[in-house]
Structure 1
Amino acid sequence: MSARKSCYRLTVEEPRIRSVVSDGKTRLQLPDEFGQCFHDFVELEPGLGLGRLHYRPSVRLIEETNGPHDGRVMVITLGLKGRSCYEGQDATSLQFQKGYTTISTFQGSPGERRYEADETVSQLRVVAQESLICKYIGRERAADTLGSQQLSRLAFRASTPAATAHANALLSHLLPCNRQLSRLDLHIHALSLLNEQLSLLAPQHGASSSPLSPADIERIEQARQMMDEHLDKPLTLDYLATTVGINKNKLKDGMIYLYNATPTELLLELRMTKALTLLETGLRVSQVAWKVGYKYPNNFTVAFTRYHGKSPKALFGKRLSQP
């Protein structure tokens, strides 16, 4: 690969490096000349898999794919860092972005994944085959959910606090610097993620309809996005409601309905998720505390430890510069 190339297309035939990392995890990695680009995957049980994608290509990269899964599957992708996209040969497309959950179903969909140069993309993926989905929700609901198209985008929405919490727990198994989860814990978190998304996509017959209009949902998600983008600012519920144009009580109730969290709980979830990401980059505790809205590092450390179960130093002691 020429270093002067501004873009490189990696075909299906070109080599990928496959290796066993540890504890049943396999890694599919691109050659070093493309930068740091790999995907770790572990099968939790027949029909249910967990993957972590980490790409930081040295050039703009277009990676051709035929779809690596046998049979029809649902893939739940939680964006952790950066953004990327997928373009199918049938003109369908998928977007993946930090803070958002993308749900797709397909069966061998040829297309291409696109990544920008020198930008880190990190994603957590739960892969469920049709047989497993039928096992838990029945063939009729599974058929309604999975559809029959070659590739379908079922959802692209802000990740709920519950989904983010399960993702963080699963990452503790996939990231080498963190603790390893038991097999039972892995199943619980992965199936909880799957259950949440299936409940939103294919509610059981007789379930009550949403009390929120599409316009309400859009405004509530705008408010959540504002919180996420201004974690260092003391945004009040009144300010958020006025800015997005919604009643304060409806905003509060809507967050509970959509994210299963009060505004205060949601803010804490966003802060702790952001803090984990920043600490992974090697920032000092005092810097991270300020960026996520804590005036005093000690207060941040207490909140982080209570939320994640371990202190920043316990999780990142070997990489963390001291304040």
Structure 2
Amino acid sequence: MQVHLTAPNFCDLVQNVAQQVKADLQETELLQQFQFPVEFGQGWVQRLNIRPGVTLTLERMTLFEPLTILASQGMSTSTLDICFCLSGQVQGSHWDSHQTTTLSANRGCLGFSPEIRGCLEYASAEPVQLVNIGIDIHELASVLHHPVEMLPLALQHSLLGNSQCPYIQHFTTTTASQVALQQILNCPYNGLPRRLYLESRVIELLAHLLQSLSPSTASSSKLSPDDIERIYAASEILKHQLEHPPSLLQLAHQVGLNDYKLKLGFREVFDTTAFGYLWSVRMQEAALLLKRNRMGVTEVALSVGYSSATSFSAAFKRKFGTSPQKYRQHC
């Protein structure tokens, strides 16, 4: 099942999805919610305005077939998103940067991108439970009661608009956060008491997250803003040289870093190695080629730097859980 988003603004996401799955959307000043029609499975989505500049989106569903939400035209957003996965699996792909994020039970991610062009893929046949906190970046300092300068340098870099690449940082949900998440999903109140209760749990979750990000984590970064700029430059080189990428030493030399700083930078900025980043970009480019035209699997493999279609197919299945042929059939 595919849902093609047409709304230009990310804030209209819930309404847009509800329209396309033909669900009855209920709306008030503070709440949007809908239930999936029985032909799709069971479950619901709720989006609540917790306080000015802060939204809370709750998703609980068990679908009969995978759900893919596509934003092919680009959706503008000024929201810093913090997503927690309690169960199931969801994969997000940011097409322009070739970055992917996979969330599973007790994993989460902090992310920001001024424009979203990509897709979200929800697994089927198992319960998916997600809690997402959205914070308007213009209200960030007042909401967090926390200087933006204390956030990780790479995130500051992205929030200031100095990079076209999205910022994504993965984390493991702590035991204390898991308790707060369950309390959010099973809130016993309605009306104003419910909003106040959920706001208190959201603040608790933000406190746990900030504890892990700063001040020690942020201040311990060994990357300067100039280093981060060079890491992004290195990522651009890899994206444009998929067939014949430079070696790690060559890449470091091209962007003016030593190999140690390059390795450290990819870990800190992209939460992976330079090789892992290249592999992810190759797979995302391959997926786009399979969706957009009729190139054969061997041609796609060659275009993303694989000399063997067999090796490419094995790598593709490791990334997406299916073969290139079956992936194309379901696009």
- TM-score bin (small chain): 0.5 to 0.7
Distance between the aligned counterparts of 2:68 and 2:185, measured in 1? 26
AA of the residue aligned to 2:209 = Q
Say if 1:158 and 1:142 are closer, same or farther in 2 by CA, change over 3 A: closer
Aligned partners of 2:30 and 2:50 also within 8 Å:
no
1:15 — aligned with what? 20
Give the length in aligned residue pairs. Answer: 198
2:169 — aligned with what? 155
Please show how residues 25-40 of structure 1 align to structure 2 within 5 Å: 25-28=31-34, 31-40=37-46
- Provide the alpha-carbon RMSD of the alignment: 3.3
Distance between the aligned counterparts of 1:71 and 1:87, measured in 2? 16
> Structure 2 length normalisation: TM-score?
0.51
Q: 2:198 aligns with which of 167, 178, 186?
A: 186
Give the gaps of 5 or more residues in structure 1.
1-7, 210-323
Query: Aligned with 1:109: secondary structure?
Result: strand
1:103 — aligned with what? 110
Query: Aligned with 1:55: secondary structure?
Result: strand
AA of the residue aligned to 2:213 = L
AA of the residue aligned to 1:80 = L
Distance between the aligned counterparts of 1:183 and 1:199, measured in 2? 24
Aligned partners of 2:149 and 2:156 also within 8 Å:
no
1:98 deviates by 0.9
1:169 deviates by 2.2
Higher share of residues assigned helix? 2
Aligned partners of 2:78 and 2:136 also within 8 Å:
yes
1:172 — aligned with what? 186
- Which deviates the most, 162-171 or 41-50? 162-171
1:140 — aligned with what? 149
1:50 deviates by 1.0
1:190 deviates by 0.7
1:307 — aligned with what? none
Distance between the aligned counterparts of 2:72 and 2:169, measured in 1? 22
Distance between the aligned counterparts of 1:69 and 1:42, measured in 2? 20
> Structure 1 length normalisation: TM-score?
0.52
Confirm whether residue 72 of structure 1 aligns to residue 78 of structure 2. yes
AA of the residue aligned to 1:92 = Q
Say if 1:203 and 1:92 are closer, same or farther in 2 by CA, change over 3 A: same
Say if 1:33 and 1:192 are closer, same or farther in 2 by CA, change over 3 A: same
Please show how residues 226-241 of structure 1 align to structure 2 within 5 Å: none
1:184 deviates by 3.3
Distance between the aligned counterparts of 1:32 and 1:94, measured in 2? 29
Percent of paired sites with the same residue: 17
2:119 — aligned with what? 112
AA of the residue aligned to 1:164 = Q
Aligned partners of 2:82 and 2:110 also within 8 Å:
yes
- Measured against aligned partners, the alpha-carbon deviations of 1:189-216 in whole angstroms (never above 9, x if no partner) come to 212212321332242799789xxxxxxx
1:85 deviates by 0.6
1:116 deviates by 2.6
